Amino acid sequence: MTNEPDINLAEELALAIRIADVADAISLPYFSRQNFTLSRKADHSEVTEADRNTETAIVELIAQHRPDHAIYGEEHGHAGNASSPWKWVIDPIDGTSNFVRGVPVWATLIALVHDIDGPVLGVVSAPALPRRWWGARGIGAFANGRPMKVSEVSSIAEAQISVTFNAGWDQVGGTQALVSLQQRAYRARGYGDFWQHMLVAEGAVDIAIDAIGLAPYDNAAVQAIVEIAGGRHTDRFGVRDYEQNSAISTNGRLHDEVITSLKV
């Protein structure tokens, strides 16, 4: 990794976990009481005051403790030092549609990204489950404090797979390929959003295929954790780039076969 001399990932991870604690303290009461305003953004996706207030608190903490770093969040966009090689990429509530319907599968995603190496640290905090995953290069990956790693399943026929179908897959003509891959697998489910990728990192699921239409803040923390747990996270073409609009996580052993099977 192309680290700057003054970066200490253990310290950055401690800060990220502290930030997740603050985020949870804001978002979870909104979810528990279901007392928030709901509106829609230009792309028709849902957004609540919980999203905005959570991100505001996160940005304020990062600006206070890492004023030299850049910040990019879903709700408020860019902040901080744009020339820094280090960027915090934030999704205050991944799974807002679940959040507003009372489904507990939503999380705050926090990543530290290097402009050359990509995501090197991630925290995914899902307080309503309650589950939290985190990891940093050279430190390891953890689920609720316990070390985790991807599975060793080496064939599609023995694999558990999670797929998120959406209009994006229809538009590229990929839906039938997804169905065919599911049919080849041992077991198929649709866990969705961050959760399917974290299940890959835990070794509970072997393949996770996300929707097409993702943003960098959907991918950054997830990619960091999956990779640190020993897996692979790329777009649907096999390119390792958290800024792409698709995401596939696997235990690594199955990755190339999955990518090949989805080429259309």
Distance CA 207, CA 214 (A): 17
What would the CATH number be for the domain defined by 156-261? 3.40.190.80
207 vs 74, which has greater pLDDT?
207
Closest by Cα among 45, 44, 41, 78 to 62: 78
Distance CA 134, CA 201 (A): 10
Cα distances from 193 to residues 18, 71, 84, 178, in angstroms, run 23, 22, 29, 17
- What confidence category does residue 74 fall into, taking pLDDT thresholds of 50, 70 and 90? confident
Topology, domain 9-147: Fructose-1,6-Bisphosphatase; Chain A, domain 1 (3.30.540)
Condensed to tens digits (0 to 9), the pLDDT of residues 140-158 reads 999 999 999 999 999 999 9
- Structure token digits, residue 233: 């996270």
By CB atoms closer than 10 A (0-12, 13-18, 19+), residue 3 is middle
Condensed to tens digits (0 to 9), the pLDDT of residues 2-42 reads 544 469 999 999 999 999 999 999 999 999 988 777 665 55
Domain map (residue ranges) of the chain: 9-147, 156-261
Condensed to tens digits (0 to 9), the pLDDT of residues 207-240 reads 999 999 999 999 999 999 999 999 999 999 999 9
Distance CA 173, CA 101 (A): 30
Condensed to tens digits (0 to 9), the pLDDT of residues 109-129 reads 999 999 999 999 999 999 999
In this structure, of 40-44, 173-177, 201-205, the range with the lowest mean pLDDT score is 40-44
Cα distances from 62 to residues 65, 73, 126, 249, in angstroms, run 5, 12, 20, 28
- What confidence category does residue 76 fall into, taking pLDDT thresholds of 50, 70 and 90? confident
